[in-house]
Amino acid sequence: MKIIILVLIFGFYALIGFSQTVEKVTLPECYDWAKESFPMMQQQAVAEKLSNLRLQQIDLQSRPTISWNA
């Protein structure tokens, strides 16, 4: 009796596992979904401008300065 119950349980799980359909997803679709779900990807141009301004600021701070005391 226990064997019959185990066979029925495993058979039920096998039917559930094989009844699922698999949808193929392409790499461009994954990129599109990532851009939609990650808000910084939508603001990529703004982030690039900000990083360029920060690099310019660091560059200007590292240059020597001349001060005139009269």
Model confidence pLDDT, tens digit, residues 3-48 = 888 777 877 776 666 656 678 889 999 888 887 877 776 677 888 8
User: Is the pLDDT higher at 56 or at 9?
Assistant: 56
What pLDDT score does 54 carry? 95
pLDDT at 2 over 80: no
**Looking at the domain assignment, is residue 5 inside a domain?**
no
**Looking at the domain assignment, is residue 3 inside a domain?**
no
Please, are residues 50 and 57 in contact by the beta-carbon 8 Å criterion?
Answer: no
Q: How sure is the predictor about 64, in pLDDT bands with cuts at 50, 70 and 90?
A: confident
Please, are residues 4 and 12 in contact by the beta-carbon 8 Å criterion?
Answer: no
Domain count, the chain: 1
Its pTM stands at 0.38
**Looking at the domain assignment, is residue 14 inside a domain?**
no
* Domain, as residue range, for 42: 23-62
Angle among Cα 22, 26, 28 to the nearest 5 degrees reads 150
